[in-house]
Amino acid sequence: DTAVSQTPKYLVTQMGNDKSIKCEQNLGHDTMYWYKQDSKKFLKIMFSYNNKELIINETVPNRFSPKSPDKAHLNLHINSLELGDSAVYFCASSPRQVSTDTQYFGPGTRLTVL
Amino acid sequence: GNSVTQMEGPVTLSEEAFLTINCTYTATGYPSLFWYVQYPGEGLQLLLKATKADDKGSNKGFEATYRKETTSFHLEKGSVQVSDSAVYFCALSAPRNGNQFYFGTGTSLTVIP
């Protein structure tokens, strides 16, 4: 009965590779997000989708490309991985795109680029 | 713009001590305010929230009151337990901003027996 799930939980890869992280929510929410947490635990929004439509696209290198095949899924593809991409990536969802709504977070994917 | 300033950690307390973690914010409009907790190796879990001024959020003995006059949302607990050891994040969500969350830097709490 996992609410927001992410795969994989750990990802170790070489510089220059391309990798994807998948996220699925079974809460019936309309809005999904990707956040990056750096080594100092600071969390920053990367992208937000509402009903499969891109809403927020923060200043993120265009090597990062989100894809939402349907309302329940938001995947993150990263091209040409760099050392600085090493971080924990969290997916989240909320019922709607309104500021009073709680966001529900997945367990995170720890990406290590060697 | 929107931002959250949170008390620097780490914080170390003895069991049953009183906890306060300060959080102040800057926002356009009237934001909603949240406290999330992150246990080691896990994702963030909502601890409590308040969506308008003077609201008090509470959960598991933790409380925080939305103070518009001081733009603050300080987290308090009267008697902490070892199981409260975690990182605590204050966050705001501003209207007309796509429900984007702005997080504070997190405060690491360790409770010792």
Q: pLDDT tens digits for B41-67?
A: 888 999 999 999 999 999 999 999 999
Share of chain A above pLDDT 70, in %: 98
Which residue numbers of B have CB closer than 8 Å to A's CBs?
Answer: 31-32, 34, 36, 38, 42-46, 49, 51, 87, 89, 93-95, 97-101, 103, 105-106, 108
Q: Which residue in chain A has the smallest CA separation from B48?
A: A102
- Are the C-beta atoms of residues B46 and B38 closer than 8 Å to each other? no
Amino acid B97: pLDDT: 67
Mean pLDDT of A41-45: 90
Half-sphere exposure of residue A105: CA atoms within 13 angstroms, side-chain side:
24
Amino acid B84: pLDDT: 97
Query: Which tokens hold the place of A72?
Result: 């329940």
Share of chain B above pLDDT 70, in %: 97
Q: Could you report how far apart the first and last alpha carbons of chain B are, in Å?
A: 42
For residue A110, how far is the Cα from the chain centroid?
11
A92 pLDDT band, cuts 50/70/90, is very high
Concatenating the DSSP letter of every residue in B62-86 gives EEEE-BTTTTB--EEESS--GGG-E
Mean pLDDT of B15-44: 93
CA–CA dist A24, B15 (Å, integer): 38
Mutate to test the interface with A, among B44, B45, B108 (most CBs of A within 10 A): B44
